[in-house]
Amino acid sequence: MTQLKLEPWTVNDRAHWRRLNNDPRVVRHMGDGVVDRDETERLFGKILELAEVPDERFLGLWAVRYDAEAVGMAELKHTVNTAPGEVEIIYALVPDVWGRGVGTQLVQALQDVASGRGFDVLATVHPRNDASPGLLRKTGIRRARAPRRRNVGLRLAARHVARLSSTQPNASRITFSPSSSSPVSSNPSDS
């Protein structure tokens, strides 16, 4: 069975992180685009540090796996763009999975996690990113107020009412079935 998994980053994910950060197709609409090796390593070190010492800005920071293959990254966090009660969805996927529905499943999963923790979701999109607005609208995220940061062309927000079961909001690993964005398991021992 095909499954989308959000799992904490580990030192074993270094090659996957490099793959994401060094592919211009993946990062062209994110931050500063492709960064040099030193910055890639610094950022990966920060991710590992956040896995050990949680930061209150982050509700989640995950490696994304699809059929056990590392295919992306995802974050839920408070940013300069978010209002009280909101978290921003940030995600990137390798081109191998573009157009296969993985992005839609991922955004739905992130909405469920945020909602289960009592937050509405927000996504900001680079003005030249033509793909993400359609994907976000498919998942119920619609245009809202203007972004608080310059150089962000579109701000989308949604109220998502799906709830996770009471055993899942603090889980660090979350698994989703392909037929729905509902969690199948959040216990690492269940996987």
Which residue, among 79, 27, 50, has the nearest Cα to 172 in the 3D structure?
50
Q: Taking all residues of the chain, what is their mean pLDDT, rounded to a whole number?
A: 75
Give Cα 28 to chain centroid, integer Å: 16
Question: Over the stretch 64-74, which tens digit does the pLDDT of each residue have?
Answer: 999 889 999 99
Question: Over the stretch 109-126, which tens digit does the pLDDT of each residue have?
Answer: 999 999 898 998 888 887
Q: Which domains does the chain have, with CATH numbers?
A: 4-170 (3.40.630.30)
Q: Where are the beta strands (DSSP E) in the chain?
A: 4-8, 58-66, 69-77, 86-93, 120-125, 142-143, 154-158, 174-176, 183-185
Ordered DSSP codes for 128-140: T--HHHHHHHHTT
